[in-house]
Amino acid sequence: MNWFSIYVLNDEWEIGQANGYRSMGKLTGSLEWKNLVRHAEVLKRKHLKTLFNADTARFERFSLTHGDLLIDFSKQRIDTTTLALLRKYAEFSQWQTWRDRMFAGEAINHTEGRAVGHWRLRAGRTAPDDVRDVLGRMERFCNQVRFADWVGFSGKPIRHIVNIGIGGSDLGPRMLVEALKAYHLKGVRVHFVSNLDGADLATTLEELDAESTLFIVASKTFTTKETMTNANTARNWLLQKFSGEEKSISRHFVAASCNVQQAERFGISTENVFPFSDWVGGRFSVCSSVGLSVALAIGFERFQQFLGGARDIDQHFFSAPIESNVPLTLALLSFWNGSFLGARSEAVFPYSHSLRLLPAYLQQLEMESNGKRIDRDGTEVDYLTSPIIWGESGSNGQHSFFQLLHQGTELVSSDFIVMAEPDFSPPGHHDGVLANCLAQSSALAFGKSSTELEPEEIQDSWGDYRCCPGNQPSNTLVLPTIEPFTLGQLVAIYEHKTFCLGVLWNLNSFDQWGVEFGKLLADRLRPVISGNVSPEMYDASTRGIVAHFSKLKHK
Ligand code: F6P
């Protein structure tokens, strides 16, 4: 019996308080934290050049492999003592206990009283019955659409799928559909609409023929204003095309949601709702029915391969020891850079056009999860939490903001993500991509001193301007190629990294109260914008801007 069966078969997914949790106290006052602070003072004075020169086995010492994946972190500003101290801290943080609690289905999302079960969505044969039921229904549905057993209201096969969702109900599937272009089935195109700004939906609809279009309303809650506004407009557009025939809705709208009742109220019949449970967080939901657009784009079999990749990392994360645990190691490095070396941001550079939406996906995953200031014990933290995550596909980024990394004043740790083999292969491109990726991480790490200037560079008086200090840390993640399985691995690595970081900072990574606050204010302001409520109770800036809107509207 494997580890999954042990968990899944033994418990009935009992949701209670995470018992046995001991308060962490003030993290910065702990011996483990203080040791890292002291050690950072030493490491801050060391250059990566010196660290590499001092240790010929640095790459072997500071890299991990998992199957065909390589994770090279030798260009991080660490030495063996750093890793030892970080691992001591990890033990102090009880990372293993928290991990096991997550896999045991405890309500570790304590502020919402929920378990954290995205890993259950890909547990294969040991997944809960309802998860397997939905996967079975998704498979049938994908095949029906693919082989035109499912047709539109007027009998036309489906040629366009439009995923309407936002945040976790958009960024994950959008990133994957883009990344897996090489695997797209012929005859169907997948579009994404997320923005409340009507330009998003309007320009998408312009291209579409209602008779061959299927909308997926992806929303965990089925109440998100942006999504419901877009879904209602799309519904009206469809009804207009079918002369108000309500029955057309059930052939052209399906839903991925926890809120089946609300989806039905919208007009989507129960059999067209693909549900998931509330123990799946929005930003962790791409392996749920929120991934339906991905399954329709690449076929269900390949979607299963994607889930298989994620499962492979779940098993690794659950069973690998601290020294070889990939997600934990990445989290420890992030923790080190942010909390001890002072890096306020972390960049993600996929050296792949197909993976260019990865930074946006990771922004939500990491910043919505760990952009917090109150810890699990209810105390305000006195350390930096989530770094600002940003990035762009590698080759493009080099010609815009890389200058700041090379010669600016910010310490930034970067993740370079690169594929040994390309997904599209016009000759003469991929070697250049690999060379650029390696050149950038080397240039950032080792820099260029005045003694390393080329002869032609010292003939004028601009030598100082040409020098690059280096010492910018990075990880390089090498994947064999872009395929569903490896992307499943990549997604799960970052999901578990995010979880581990939350544990290291003693945060609950699974709520997002700040976002809820913004939503509430927008709801209150709506009637003010429409002119139905006076803005007088608002601040001077809001009042001034509202007045200016009105002036421009009535010009
Ligand atoms: O931005 C807040 C948030 O709740 C995200 O966590 C979520 O992914 C997104 O809104 C969309 O929510 P829903 O899937 O419920 O429409």
| Cα 513 to averaged position of ligand 1 atoms, centre (Å) | 11
Q: Which residues of 436-472 are buried (b: 16+ CB within 10 A; e: fewer)?
A: bbeebbebbbbbbeeeebeeeeeeeeeeeeebbebbb
Residue 554 is among the residues annotated as catalytic for this protein = no
Tell me the C-alpha distance between 386 and 371, whole Å. 5
Cα–Cα distance measured from residue 181 to residue 364, given in angstroms and rounded to the nearest whole number:
23
Distance from Cα 208 to the centre of ligand 1, integer Å: 26
CA 335 / ligand 1 centre spacing (Å)? 26
- The neighbour count for residue 259, using CB atoms within 10 Å, is 18
Does the CB atom of residue 371 touch ligand 1 within 6 A? no
Atom of ligand 1 nearest to the CA of 168: 8
Q: Which residues pair with 348 in a beta bridge?
A: 391, 415
Residue with tokens 């799928």: 161
Provide the token pair at 495: 């999901």
Task: Report yes or no for ipTM above 0.90.
Answer: yes
The gap from C-alpha 54 to its chain's centroid, in whole angstroms, comes to: 36
Reduced to 3 states (helix: H, G, I; strand: E, B; else coil), residue 508 is coil
Q: Which is the catalytic residue, given 368, 392, 483, 495?
A: 368
Tell me how far the alpha carbon of residue 424 is from its chain's centroid: 24
For ligand 1, atom 8, name the residue with the nearest CA.
Answer: 168
Distances (CA, A) of 421 to 72, 141, 293, 435, 523: 18, 33, 26, 13, 48
Instruction: Give the mutation target among 219, 220, 262, 368 for probing the ligand 1 site: most ligand atoms within 8 A of CB.
Output: 220
Place of tokens 């990294």: 497
Distance in angstroms (rounded) separating the CA atoms of residues 550 and 108: 47
- pLDDT tens across the length of the chain (555 residues): 344 444 443 444 444 444 456 688 899 999 999 999 999 999 999 999 999 999 999 999 999 999 999 999 999 999 999 999 999 999 999 999 999 999 999 999 999 999 999 999 999 999 999 999 999 999 999 999 999 999 999 999 999 999 999 999 999 999 999 999 999 999 999 999 999 999 999 999 999 999 999 999 999 999 999 999 999 999 999 999 999 999 999 999 999 999 999 999 999 999 999 999 999 999 999 999 999 999 999 999 999 999 999 999 999 999 999 999 999 999 999 999 999 999 999 999 999 999 999 999 999 999 999 999 999 999 999 999 999 999 999 999 999 999 999 999 999 999 999 999 999 988 899 999 999 999 999 999 999 998 888 888 877 888 889 999 999 999 999 999 999 999 999 999 999 999 999 999 999 999 999 998 888 999 999 999 999 999 999 999 999 999 999 999 888
- Among 153, 151, 149, which residue's Cα sits nearest to residue 139? 149
Ligand 1 atom at minimum distance from 285 CA: 8
User: How many angstroms separate the alpha carbon of residue 268 from the centre of ligand 1?
Assistant: 20
Catalytic annotation present for 368: yes
370-to-389, 475, 505, 529 alpha-carbon distances in Å: 11, 20, 9, 33
In the block, tokens 């250049």 appear at 432
d(CA 440, CA 329): 22
Q: Which amino acid would we find at residue 88?
A: K
Q: Is 227 in the pocket of ligand 1 (CB under 6 A)?
A: yes
Contact 120, 70 (CB under 8 A): no
Tokens at 255, concatenated = 């839903």
φ, ψ for residue 475, nearest 5 deg: -110, 150
Q: Which tokens go with 481? A: 């190629």
541, two tokens: 């800036």
Q: Which of 399, 551, 554, 555 is catalytic?
A: 399
Selection from 196, 161, 194, 159 nearest residue 177 by Cα:
161
Ligand 1 centre and the CA of 232: distance in Å? 18
